[in-house]
Amino acid sequence: MRPPALPLPHALSDEDEAALGDLFRKGTPDNTLRAWERDLVYIAAWKRARFGQDLAWPEEERVALRFVLDHASDLSDTPGKAQDAALALIGAGLRRTLACPAPATLDRRIASWRAFHRMRNLASPFDAPLVAATRIKARRAAARPRKPKSPRPLTRDVLESLIETCDYSLRGLRDRAILMLAFASGGRRRSEITALHREDIGTGDYATKGLIWLRLLETKTTRKDEAPRLPLKGRAAKAVMDWIRAAAIADGPLFRPVSQADRVLDRRLKPDAIRVILRHRLRLAGLPEDYATPHGLRAGFLTQAALDGAPLAAAMKLSLHRSVVQAQKYYADVEIEENPATDLLG
């Protein structure tokens, strides 16, 4: 996907504008660029539908306030300009229903809008006291129970059943390596798995220690200049090495599509391919395809670490969580089940 055209200061020369735009694109993760692109399209379409105007820089506080209010309630039974604008967005394929959007969706779009103002060195209207206070109230009013990213964590016993479905064809070797690497290296995200290159796999210690090293150039919580190195041991390391050798991967993307004729193709897997692979393995293991999502590998790693009594800090060293509160949620689910106070009635 082509990176979005970034809104830049009109005062800059064409040369400076191009240089600054290129710098923002190179310094911003691809996932963030894609989110910005979607949000910019949505925001611009909303303002045209609501006010009949294009976006302004800086945007007016009244427009920012109206954006929050229009996305803070269910519009199904409230005819008026807000509903009309929402229907126009639905017609354009930018909105699904008239129901109140999730608070996280509103937060992300506002964050994108604020980022566009920062790129222009302009103050954001969402920082105005009334707008900021309204946003807090809207978030609380629309709060809903936290929905996990995966219906279930893929703990070790479930993972083993998926691994057993992987034969020794190239497709089986690849899928085994993906599943084991994703789990054993700390619960890697889809984008982190598919971004790996052969050059990111350090094999110098494999012959003597059965250990390989993964270099993650960029993750959701780390930047390229941090590039964490994570160890992969035992069966997981062997699975990755078996795939590398069988597929004869000397450089370039580590995980690649495999044709129906069991031939490795010369391009990287897309992140959504991990979802397809997981569904396929769940089906072969006799489980429903919606039993878990790829995030279940991440949740499964932390849940299994809690079940095995691994210290939270040790698990976070591999999962690369920055928030103790976020990582602790997986441990809390395990700990409360084992709490002796739950057995007071026998």
Is the pLDDT at 170 greater than 80? The verdict is yes
C-alpha gyration radius of the chain: 24
Average of per-residue pLDDT values in the chain: 87
pLDDT in the model for residue 111: 93
Query: What is the band of 179 on the pLDDT scale with cuts at 50, 70, 90?
Result: very high
Q: What number is the average pLDDT over the span 259-275?
A: 93
Q: What are 88-97's pLDDT values in tens digits?
A: 999 999 999 9
| Nearest-angstrom CA–CA distance, 175 and 279 | 11
Summarize the confidence of residues 308-334 as an average pLDDT.
Answer: 85
Whether 6 shows a pLDDT value over 50: the answer reads: no
Higher pLDDT, 266 or 27: 266
Whats the size of the chain, residue-wise? 346
Q: What is the pLDDT of residue 291?
A: 94
253, pLDDT greater than 90: yes
**pLDDT class of 71 with cuts at 50, 70, 90:** very high
Q: 212: which strand partners?
A: 232
What is the pLDDT, as a whole number, of residue 294? 94
pLDDT tens digits for 268-309? 999 999 999 999 999 999 999 999 999 999 999 999 998 888
| 4 DSSP 8-state letter | P
- Would you state the pLDDT for residue 138? 85
Residue 168 has pLDDT above 60, yes or no: yes
Question: What are the contacts of 164-173 at 24+ separation with CB within 8 A?
Answer: 164/285, 165/281, 165/284, 165/285, 166/281, 169/262, 170/246, 170/247, 170/258, 170/262, 170/263, 170/264, 171/258, 171/262, 173/239, 173/242, 173/243, 173/246, 173/247
* pLDDT over 60 at 227, yes or no: yes
Sign of CA dihedral 69, 70, 71, 76: positive
Whether the per-residue pLDDT at 183 is higher than 60: the answer is: yes
pLDDT at residue 232, rounded to an integer: 94
The two tokens of residue 83 are 């509903």
- Would you place residue 147 in the very low, low, confident or very high pLDDT band (cuts 50, 70, 90)? confident
Q: Are 230 and 237 in contact (CB under 8 A)?
A: no
* Domains present along the chain, CATH in parentheses: 14-141 (1.10.150), 156-337 (1.10.443.10)
CA of residue 263 relative to chain centroid, distance: 29
Q: What is the pLDDT of residues 24-65, one digit of tens each?
A: 777 777 778 888 889 999 999 999 999 999 999 999 999 999
Assign 257 to helix, strand or coil.
coil
Q: For residue 11, what are its two tokens?
A: 């005062």
Residue 28 makes CB contacts below 8 A (sequence gap 6+) with 36
